[in-house]
Amino acid sequence: MNSIDTRELAAWLDQTLQPGRFRDYSPNGLQVEGKASIGHIIAGVTASEALLRAAIDRGADAVLVHHGWFWKNEDPRVRGPRRTRLALALAHDLNLFAYHLPLDAHPKLGNNAQLARVLGLVPEQDEAGLPRTCGPDNLVWLGTAPGIEHFGQLAARAAERLGRAPQAIGDAQRPIRRVAWCTGGAQGMLADAVDAGVDAYITGEISEPTVHLSRETGVAFLAAGHHATERYGVQALGQAIADRFGIRVDFVDIDNPV
């Protein structure tokens, strides 16, 4: 089995995802240092206890996730579930790599790019050939949904391809010409999508004020699931690692209904 130095992989990931460009809520990169070399990675959405135990059971050297640890404003004390997770990682010498906003935004490997692929969305491009965006840190992507004429069709496609029924706010017959999307918990960016002049906005979660803003602006809103919309970026990143370094990367989906 091929292996790579942990520091070399960390440097490549940082160079590829450029975390310094983002004002994030948690540290990006190597969050917990484990073995000095890596030959097997378990990738997943969140560094939960279940994912760590899956990595241990499969003899992995590292865990690669979108949602890692050490979030801002969290209680920093190491007790309860935090102690359990950290103890598992340290006892088994697991490396933990986590990339949050950088993995959302990457133009090819990111969650937004991969959700577009899964849902058949076509991103608009700017003068440099990059996705046209709006919102904080340019996290909201803009584009079209070929083959979709009405909002009901967009909701049905999301349900079919993501494997869960989304929460849809808006008239099912509303014509859809231009859409915006941002995976995860980006319901607070609906106003940015409205200002960009779209007909529908897709994200993972929904909040009480979101419903009123959607109704009052006429921009249809689709909450397709935080976990459901963010399963694909870490898979694409894992495949890129496997292709470049020839090491084994397996995706483990710990189901989450949110």
State how far the Cα of 55 lies from the Cα of 38, in Å rounded to an integer. 13
Please state, in angstroms and as integers, the Cα–Cα distance from residue 241 to each residue in 5, 14, 84, following that order.
13, 13, 28
Q: Is 230 annotated as a binding residue?
A: yes
Query: According to the 3-state scheme, what is the secondary structure of 202-219?
Result: EECCCCHHHHHHHHHHCC
Q: Which amino acid is at 14?
A: D
- Do 223 and 104 form a contact (C-beta atoms < 8 A)? no
For the chain, report the end-to-end CA distance as a whole number of angstroms: 37
Is residue 159 helix, strand or coil? Answer: helix
Residue 244: HSE in the Cβ half-sphere, 13 Å Cα cutoff: 12
Q: Is 66 annotated as a binding residue?
A: yes
State how far the Cα of 73 lies from the Cα of 76, in Å rounded to an integer. 8
Q: Is 57 annotated as a binding residue?
A: no
Q: Is 250 annotated as a binding residue?
A: no
Ranges assigned E (strand) in 139-209: 140-144, 167-169, 179-181, 200-203
Tally of residues, the chain: 258
Binding residues for a divalent metal cation: 66-67, 104, 226, 230
Binding-site residues, in ranges, read 66-67, 104, 226, 230
